[in-house]
Structure 1
Amino acid sequence: MGDMKDPSIYRNPVILQSEELTKYILETAVYPREPEPLRELREATNNHPWSFIATLPDAAQLMSLLLKLTNPKKTIEVGVFTGYSLLLTALNIPDDGKITAIDIDRKAYEVGLPVIKKAGVEHKINFIESAALPVLDKLLEDPANEGSYEFAFIDADKESYVEYHERLIKLVKVGGLLVYDNTLWGGRVAWPEDQVPPHSRSGRKAAIEFNKRITEDSRVEFALTSVGDGLNIVRRIA
């Protein structure tokens, strides 16, 4: 969810493609296939003052395919907000699947919780209200947790992505996927720094550093995509 103390860093987001093309993708390919519970949660989120930080529906559609292809039973999510991506995961894993979901703000999660309950998937979710790093460190204290997760989705404070990755790469099994959101930071990763608004520079710098670290990480193979606000789709190979 990023730095909840300073909403200005999310204002006036830069679109990675034209508004016309974005509208075409959503109306042609995404909304017609969006499950009803996800539509309900997306509309409920629209009333939240931080609605613009929610997972974008086109990115969620790609993640849905990844979940169907990998069919994980044990997943982890860092950054939940109102739960759009969390509900998406819960709808796409087996009935006995489990999601460890970590976020600092339970109130935001409770915006989407009625829809999650209505969809009949709350039993798959273990929501932990906490900063993520202490939870991840606690999980790693038990050797049984290493390599036990099959899928991870990360949409939290960008400045901590490198630290999240170093922990999650141990928790996710070889062959498992880690999907990092907002890795193109509204396209600003490609801008000259002096053209980036001051409130966006920290996130831009963090995204650039993270993408570079993934490129240099011999433990993974990956695809940095321009879907949504940029998804870095990472597969652990060692």
Structure 2
Amino acid sequence: MAVSSLNHMSHIVHAPILEYILEKNAYPKEHEQLKELREITAEKYGKMSIMNVPVDEAQFLSMLLKIMNVKKTIEIGVFTGYSVLATALALPDDGQITAIDLDKEAYETGLPFIKKARVEHKINFIQSNALSVLDDLINAGEEASFDFVFVDAEKEENMKYHEKVMKLVKVGGIIAYDNTLWYGSVAYKQGDERYKDVPKFAWPSKDYMIQFNDFIVSDHRVEPSLLSIGDGLTLCRRLY
């Protein structure tokens, strides 16, 4: 059992339940290159390896992409590329992912496994600030041309990302926001005993995440669903 996998959501789902999910369901079906990437990320980045999505969440998203027959996606926030690789494996051979992150070095950690899985041709990695890339896509006439968007970057920027990707995803398409339970902190009141379990680095973004969650519920342009998988995953289906 990888400690990082347990730490990722054990504050939300009891550790024995999570261990059962991973050991009995997720790990046995994990693609070989995804497993190798997960392990090298844990070895190289330690606790920061939780920046990649957990195995069960990646498998859920993979199934969702296949059900939707997705061919064209955006990923904002890549890290070492676990979710990008999972997406690339789920897309048809002519599928395309626009993957955006400032940290090219982290992405290059996963690149050998992406190449080994023979899906590099599906990924267009752009080392840049995501907001500027999204503007470029809009200006290039890419509005309403993407089937799916996955957002796992600076939580303080989620509101800005949302307004831009709403222009880029097609009606009926899905925008997925990761970490929307934010280590469980969104449900904790000040002084709550459980608040001590929230990593210190997460505290400054708690209020941003609460505001974003409230905003999504009130946004009549989308049909939202907040899932208690991983650290919280919010799916938004664009209605118009």
Three-state SS of the structure 2 residue aligned to 1:47 is helix
Partner of 2:23: 27
Percent of aligned positions that are identical: 52
Do structure 1's residue 177 and structure 2's residue 179 form an aligned pair? Answer: no
Q: Where do 5+ consecutive residues of structure 2 fail to align? A: 1-6
Shift in Å at residue 205 of structure 1? 1.1
CA distance in structure 2 between the partners assigned to 1:68 and 1:200 by the alignment: 33
CA distance in structure 1 between the partners assigned to 2:64 and 2:106 by the alignment: 26
Partner of 2:142: 145
- Alpha carbons of 1:36 and 1:47: their partners in 2 closer, same or farther (altered >3 Å)? same
Describe the superposition over 1:189-232 as per-residue Cα deviations: whole angstroms up to 9, x where unpaired.
00013444664332211211111111011111011011010000
- Alpha carbons of 1:86 and 1:213: their partners in 2 closer, same or farther (altered >3 Å)? same
CA contact (8 A) 1:14 1:187 kept: no
CA contact (8 A) 2:8 2:54 kept: no
CA distance in structure 2 between the partners assigned to 1:193 and 1:18 by the alignment: 22
Higher relative contact order (CA 8 A, sep 6+): 1
Shift in Å at residue 118 of structure 1? 0.5
Partner of 1:132: 130
Partner of 2:37: 41
Do structure 1's residue 236 and structure 2's residue 232 form an aligned pair? Answer: no
CA contact (8 A) 2:9 2:231 kept: no
Amino acid paired to 2:228: S
Given candidates 212, 216, 228, the residue that maps to 1:226 is 228
CA distance in structure 2 between the partners assigned to 1:12 and 1:39 by the alignment: 17
Which piece of structure 1 moves more, 67-76 or 77-86? 67-76
TM-score, normalized by length of structure 2?
0.90
Three-state SS of the structure 1 residue aligned to 2:44 is coil
Partner of 2:120: 122
CA distance in structure 2 between the partners assigned to 1:30 and 1:13 by the alignment: 15
CA distance in structure 2 between the partners assigned to 1:194 and 1:206 by the alignment: 19
Describe the superposition over 1:146-196 as per-residue Cα deviations: whole angstroms up to 9, x where unpaired.
000001111111111111011001100000011110000011100013444
CA contact (8 A) 1:159 1:202 kept: no
Shift in Å at residue 15 of structure 1? 2.1
Aligned residues: 227
CA distance in structure 1 between the partners assigned to 2:220 and 2:213 by the alignment: 13
Partner of 2:189: 192
Shift in Å at residue 13 of structure 1? 7.2
Partner of 2:215: 213
Shift in Å at residue 72 of structure 1? 1.1
CA contact (8 A) 1:193 1:201 kept: no
Three-state SS of the structure 2 residue aligned to 1:135 is helix
CA contact (8 A) 1:78 1:101 kept: yes
CA distance in structure 2 between the partners assigned to 1:148 and 1:40 by the alignment: 33
Three-state SS of the structure 2 residue aligned to 1:145 is coil
Q: Where do 5+ consecutive residues of structure 1 fail to align? A: 1-10
Shift in Å at residue 134 of structure 1? 0.9
- Alpha carbons of 1:119 and 1:42: their partners in 2 closer, same or farther (altered >3 Å)? same
CA distance in structure 2 between the partners assigned to 1:115 and 1:102 by the alignment: 18
